[in-house]
Amino acid sequence: MKQWDSVAIVGVGLIGGSIGLGLRDRGLARQVVGIARREASLRVAKRMGAVTKGTLDLARGVNGAELVVVCTPVARIAADARASAEVCRPGALITDVGSTKAEIVAALDGALSREVRFVGSHPLAGSEKSGPAAAAADLFVDRTVVVTPTRATREEDLASLDAFWTALGARVIRMSPEAHDRALAATSHLPHLAASALAASTPQGDLGLTASGWVDTTRVAAGDPELWQQIFMSNRANVLTALARYEKVLDSLRRCLEQGNKKKLTAILQEGKQKRDALAS
């Protein structure tokens, strides 16, 4: 397995911290440099062993890295990647871990100077928790990472990213940034929106009567509102399409209830069960 000489992680939260831990646990990188905005994050990341070195200075942090992984919130990724490109070593590869891809890739694809290239990644792993303290070396094990090449992407960079994520335990698949955003609107962004709306619409006085159904269905609503606002805004057209599809099914269910249409109600529940049962967990 390839050992990386130096990997820079810009933003050492849950995902950045987990990448660092994974790289160090598996002996995949000689040096992992964490770059953060706050000393406190660096302290936690260092104490956990997620980084070998930490700095608040982007230029110093990305300086010697072969690979820069931008793990900041979606709305900051393009700017952070561009800033990294200006101070990293010529020919370095930059990737990210953002939950949306089209907007970010469009801003960076083929747009960096000095032979620096950007290729987008999105690990389908995470948690409603955030921050480096929640990081885990095995966060990516058996998870899917979507890598989103374009026509400008070099095959060698794709191979590098494949090797990087695979070494962390993930399965890598390739999709266009646009196809990624369309699919993830349905499988990740809409579920989050639906869960948040469900939690928000529950009357305060009824919260004492929730059981496992409510608890499971609303789990992701505990996620960081600011991070998710950025994800929704970055993928709003696709989220709106997925939401319209969802509202249509809810509307059908409402009419079944109003009209006492048991047969159709059961059929819609059956369709949901069938799709749910297609998954093992």
> Among residues 34 and 73, whose Cβ is nearest to a second copy?
73
> Among residues 56 and 136, whose Cβ is nearest to a second copy?
136
Site size toward a second copy (CB under 8 A) is 84
The minimum distance between CB 242 and a second copy, in angstroms, equals: 8
Hey, which residues between 203 and 222 contact a second copy (CB under 8 A)?
A: 203-222
The minimum distance between CB 25 and a second copy, in angstroms, equals: 21
For residues 23-56, one letter each, b for 16 or more C-beta atoms within 10 angstroms of the residue's C-beta and e for the rest, the string is: bbeeebbebbbbbbeeeebbebbbebebbbebbe
Interface with a second copy, residue 245, by CB under 8 A: yes
For residues 94-129, one letter each, b for 16 or more C-beta atoms within 10 angstroms of the residue's C-beta and e for the rest, the string is: bbbbbbbbbbbbeebbebbeeebbbbbbbbbbbbee
Hey, which residues between 165 and 184 contact a second copy (CB under 8 A)?
A: 183-184
- Phi, then psi, of 8 in degrees rounded to 5: -105, 135
Hey, which residues between 2 and 61 contact a second copy (CB under 8 A)?
A: none
> Among residues 44 and 242, whose Cβ is nearest to a second copy?
242
The minimum distance between CB 175 and a second copy, in angstroms, equals: 8
Is 138 buried (19+), middle (13-18) or exposed (0-12) by CB count in 10 A? middle
Hey, which residues between 112 and 151 contact a second copy (CB under 8 A)?
A: 124-127, 143-144, 146
Tokens standing for residue 251: 């509307």
The minimum distance between CB 60 and a second copy, in angstroms, equals: 33
Interface with a second copy, residue 90, by CB under 8 A: no
> Which residue's entry shows tokens 């303290």?
133
The minimum distance between CB 4 and a second copy, in angstroms, equals: 26
The minimum distance between CB 236 and a second copy, in angstroms, equals: 5
Interface with a second copy, residue 268, by CB under 8 A: yes
Which position among 45, 48, 116, 239 is part of the footprint of a second copy (CB under 8 A)? Answer: 239
> Among residues 14 and 32, whose Cβ is nearest to a second copy?
14
The minimum distance between CB 10 and a second copy, in angstroms, equals: 23
Hey, which residues between 247 and 266 contact a second copy (CB under 8 A)?
A: 247-250, 253-254, 257-258, 260, 262, 265-266
> Among residues 52 and 217, whose Cβ is nearest to a second copy?
217
